[in-house]
Amino acid sequence: MPSKLVVGFDQIGSYILPSSGTTFVERGSSQVNIVAKDEKWAFTLLVTSTPDGTFLPFQQVWGGVSVQSLPSAKAQGMDKAYEYGFDFTFVKSDKKGSHFSTLKTMKEIEHVFEPYRHHVIKTDPFLDDDQCAIIFLDCYPVHAGEQFHNTFLKSSHMLSFVLFQPVAQTSFSQPMLV
């Protein structure tokens, strides 16, 4: 297996509008203003890399149920992000405001992974069109779940073997956690 086709996927939550329960006011004050106390503006960033240090385009997972939940296509830098192959998706979860990965967003990793796999095969004269890859995932329930692992991956066109990181071991092999 060429190292270019051994990829590690991991996700990290990113807060755009961090908030805290901590305030700084004089003791005994009757009014304490907390900015953004009930706001949770965040997304999950899927980072994918190979042992040789190649990073694939990122996937951003936003809470919400439609494309209206995503950053505007007119936002500064979005044209570059699309040019680099970044994938912007929404959760479509029953859990209001959740930006955590779901079966839907995990299926959409093919938007990031498959173009990369095809590019590697196309540019390496020693690889065939049906060259498989290895995907490393952590044991997050949606990753290891029957619907994603056994149903989607085995029935999709993604030619990949999935290997799971043992619980509490991703920090040893995932660059975004080190």
Q: For the segment 128-145, what is each residue's pLDDT rounded down to a tens digit?
A: 988 989 988 887 777 777
pLDDT at residue 155 tops 80: no
Residue 60's nearest CA partner among 92, 89, 81, 37 is 89
Q: What confidence tier does 36 reach under pLDDT thresholds 50, 70, 90? A: low
Residue 154 has a pLDDT of 74
**Encoding tokens for residue 77?**
């830098």
This prediction has a pTM of 0.74
Q: Chain-wide mean pLDDT for the chain?
A: 81
Give the span between the Cα atoms of 70 and 89, in whole angstroms: 7
The whole-angstrom separation of Cα 14 and Cα 60 is 10
pLDDT at residue 175 is higher than 50:
no
Query: Contact at 8 Å (CB) between 112 and 59?
Result: yes
- Mean pLDDT (whole number) for 61-70: 85
